[in-house]
Amino acid sequence: MEIRIMKEIMEGNDKLAGENRKFFEDNNITAVNIMASPGAGKTSLIMNIIGILKDQKKISVIEGDIASSIDAEKIEKEGITALQINTGGGCHLDANVIKLSVEDLALQKDTLLFIENVGNLICPSAFDLGETLKMVIASVPEGHDKPFKYISMFEAADVIVLSKKDLLPYIDFDKEAFYKGIRAVNQKAPVFEISSKTGEGVKELVDWLVEG
């Protein structure tokens, strides 16, 4: 019974994800599903990107959290439309939530939409949202072994970000092992090393997002 129910859930989600994807494609909306552990720097990176692009491009943000509206409030202070989604304990966003959120946001054509998923390196990768890109962030303080431990997440990524690069001199982080783990499961995704504190590497990531 549990297997049957899960199959129905996933089939329903995938159908709605397909509808979301068509809407994004028809309206030239780049929807970036950002997945990472809590504290990896998802919101900080979004804030940095907003600082670079807000005068050049339409940007909207969907903020997924178990509770609170702290991140959405930060983003709105920058003059960017943000919608807070609280899952009340759910460990991921799904396609239905994104469909309803997109309707509430009344997105315009040619928008860059950031979807900050719930902080979690496990189940968000299993739920297609209809996004254009899956971005996975791993931070230096988390350690270099994350690609080995969370294979499905890094395997699904279209782009990978190593955040908090400014801490590399102070933390025992083996970059060679980190990249080895990534390439063992994902040969194609580009990797950007960034620091939201100093801004290093963010412009290169932005250029890739805009040009890609």
Which burial class, exposed, middle or buried, applies to 105 when counting CB atoms under 10 A from its CB (0-12, 13-18, 19+)? middle
Q: Is the separation of the CB atoms in 194 and 162 below 8 Å?
A: yes
pLDDT value for 7: 66
Task: Tokens for 74, please give them.
Answer: 């930060």
The predicted model gives 149-171 an average pLDDT of 97
169-189: burial string, b at 16+ Cβ within 10 Å, e else: eeeebeeeebeebbeebbeeb
> Three-class SS of residue 34?
strand
Q: Nearest-CA neighbor of 136 among 128, 145, 148, 146?
A: 146
Look at residue 4 and tell me whether its pLDDT is greater than 60: no
Q: Across the chain, what does the average pLDDT equal?
A: 93
CA separation for the pair 158, 57 (Å, rounded): 22
Which burial class, exposed, middle or buried, applies to 148 when counting CB atoms under 10 A from its CB (0-12, 13-18, 19+)? middle
Domains located in the chain, CATH noted: 2-211 (3.40.50.300)
Q: ∠119-120-122 over CA atoms, to 5°?
A: 160
pTM across the whole model: 0.93
| Tens digit of each residue's pLDDT (9 = 90 or more) over 76-87 | 999 999 999 988
